[in-house]
Amino acid sequence: MKIVRTLIALLCFTAALCCAAQDAAYPANYARAPRFKALLFYSDTAEPAHVDFASQAIDFFSRLTYGDGWILETTTDLDSYSYESLTNYSVIIAINAAPMTAQGRANFEKYMENGGGWLGFHAAAYNDRNTKWPWLNKFLGCGSFYCNNWPPQCVLVDIEKTDTPVTHNIPASFVAPESEWYQWNPSPRDNADVEILASISPKNYPLGIKDVISFGDFPIVWRNKNYRMVYVNYGHGDREFTDATQNLLTLNAFRYVVSMDPKGDPFKK
């Protein structure tokens, strides 16, 4: 009987240990399947510096798929995607272009108006009087392209809000790699629905060597609170992924847009 009692006690002890192990917090959540899909949209016929950026961006995001934690698809023809097909993607990564056809624009609008995700770089937001797409300005929360520095150069960036998922762990200011920088008119800061996250410090003025910008409000990272989107203005040339701070900002912005998916935060799957 003594042996039986000892065995029962041992079994109870083992079971208790197992329960304790199940209840204990475990620090990692391993993906059992790809968590989400993203569509990277780029033009390979844009100006050479914007095509260079596209190559580097594809490499950057491809490396984030190691281990098949998510699926990255790429296209040079966003206009060919129906609204239904766009809804398969948690985020559209817009590298250097925007939809061009009436149907392509309508599909993209419907996608964004119904909870779609967008991370846009640089020329993906370019628009002027020839663009003839008022919705794009409503979506961006700003006016048209106004002016740019030339040549591309490094700038001191001020983080305007440090307590956001996009700016998490980014220092209050940092020097960004060389880029062409756009000012907008009106500035997105004039829009109450826009949250400005980073801007080019006024300390940079005069900014440029050939084309010199001397003043003006200069936001470069923002989100329009009416949409699941973040826009970052860098994205010109082949040096954009050479800085760990800016890479982290890019990663944060990407992760933030995906995490707000109305179907649920894929990182908690």
Q: Applying CB under 5 A, which residues contact Zn ion?
A: 180, 236
Query: What does each C-alpha distance from 21 to 12, 13, 17, 26 come to in angstroms?
Result: 14, 12, 6, 9
Residue with smallest beta-carbon separation from Zn ion: 236
We find the least distance from the C-beta atom of residue 96 to Zn ion, in angstroms, to be 8
d(CA 157, CA 140): 20
Structure tokens at 171: 């220092």
We find the least distance from the C-beta atom of residue 241 to Zn ion, in angstroms, to be 15
Please, which residues have CB within 8 angstroms of residue 226's CB and are 6 or more apart in sequence? 141, 193
> Among residues 187 and 233, whose Cβ is nearest to Zn ion?
233
We find the least distance from the C-beta atom of residue 180 to Zn ion, in angstroms, to be 4
> Among residues 34 and 216, whose Cβ is nearest to Zn ion?
216
d(CA 153, CA 99): 28
We find the least distance from the C-beta atom of residue 236 to Zn ion, in angstroms, to be 4
Nearest to 89 by CA among 139, 40, 31, 32: 40
We find the least distance from the C-beta atom of residue 82 to Zn ion, in angstroms, to be 30
Question: How many C-beta atoms lie closer than 10 Å to residue 223's C-beta?
Answer: 24
We find the least distance from the C-beta atom of residue 178 to Zn ion, in angstroms, to be 11
Helix (H, G, I), strand (E, B) or coil at 37: strand
Q: Which amino acid is at 208?
A: G
User: What phi and psi values does residue 6 have, to the nearest 5 degrees?
Assistant: -65, -40
User: Do 107 and 77 form a contact (C-beta atoms < 8 A)?
Assistant: no
> Among residues 158 and 180, whose Cβ is nearest to Zn ion?
180
d(CA 51, CA 48): 5
216: left (phi over 0), alpha (psi -120 to 50) or beta: left
d(CA 116, CA 91): 7
> Among residues 151 and 262, whose Cβ is nearest to Zn ion?
151
We find the least distance from the C-beta atom of residue 238 to Zn ion, in angstroms, to be 12
> Among residues 42 and 111, whose Cβ is nearest to Zn ion?
42
Structure tokens at 73: 């698809």
Q: Which amino acid is at 80?
A: S
> Among residues 180 and 243, whose Cβ is nearest to Zn ion?
180
> Among residues 148 and 167, whose Cβ is nearest to Zn ion?
148
